[in-house]
Amino acid sequence: MAARQIVLDTETTGLNARLGDRIIEIGCVEILARGVTEQRFHRYLDPERDVEDGAAKIHGLTREFLADKPRFAEVAREFVDYVRGAELVIHNAEFDLEFLDQELARAGLGKTLDHVAGVVDTLALARELHPGRRNSLDALCERYLVNNAHRTLHGALLDAHLLAEVYLAMTRGQESLVMELETPAATAVAAASVDLARLHVVRASAEEMAAHEAVLDGIEQAAKGGSVWRRPVSRA
C-alpha cells in the first residue's frame, strides 16, 4: 500500500467515454496515515458538449453552469501533479479510469497508471467482503454508519469524502475489535486477535461466588432439577 492515497470520484456528461462523453467534475481527497487530510483537488470542467438529461438528473450539473469552467486539458498537469505517486481509491474504478485515460490522452499525458502507484477498486473490495449484497456507495454508507443524509445529488467531491470514510471503515482490520456480523470469518478472526500475555484476569471474590451459587440454587428450584452449569464436564 502506498503511503499516500487519493480517493477520487468523477461526474460525467453520460456513461460512455468511447462515444464522446466527458468528465465535468473531478473530486479528490487525500488519506495519510489512515486519516483524511485537508489536501484536496476539486474542479468543475467545461466538457465542450451537451450534458445528457439522465446524467444531469443524477448530478444536477448543466451545460450552462459549466460553460465558463476550464477544460480538462487546462487543469490536467495540476491534476497529475496532485495524484503523482499515490494509490488511487475509486468506487467502480474501471468507469472512472476509462474517462480519465481519455482525458489525459487528449492532454498528451499518457494514462492514469503512468502517474500513480496503483488503484484500489472499492466496489470489487465490497463485493468480496459482502457477496450478494448491494454495494453502491449509499448502501455502503448505511452498512458502515457513514452519514450521507446531505447527499441529495451525486457530487464528485462529496462522494470522494464519503468514499474515504467508507474505505477506512472497510479496511480497519486489526485496528478495531468491533466487527460487523457479516464480516468474513477470516477477517473477523484477524481483527479480533488478542495478545493473551497482556490480558489481566480478575477472579471472582468469595461474595461474588456465593451470589452466583445462590442464583444457581434458584434456577434448580424453579426447574425442579439440576442445572447444566453444575453437571460434571465429560472428558471424551
Active site residue 130: no
Dihedral of the alpha carbons of 48, 52, 92, 141, in degrees to the nearest 10: 120
d(CA 205, CA 219): 21
Instruction: Check 154, 161, 200, 212 and give the catalytic one.
Output: 154
E strand or H helix at 118: strand 118-121
Q: How many CB atoms lie within 10 A of CB 164?
A: 24
- Order of all β-strands in the sheet with 87-90: 35-44, 23-32, 4-12, 87-90, 118-121
Task: Of 111, 109, 93, 91, give the one whose Cα is nearest residue 101.
Answer: 111
* Grid coordinates given for 6: 487519493
Residue of 180, 191, 189, 175 lying closest to 140 (CA atoms): 180
State how beta strands 87-90 and 4-12 pair: parallel
SS3 66: helix
CA distance 125 to 167: 9
Residues with a known catalytic role: 154
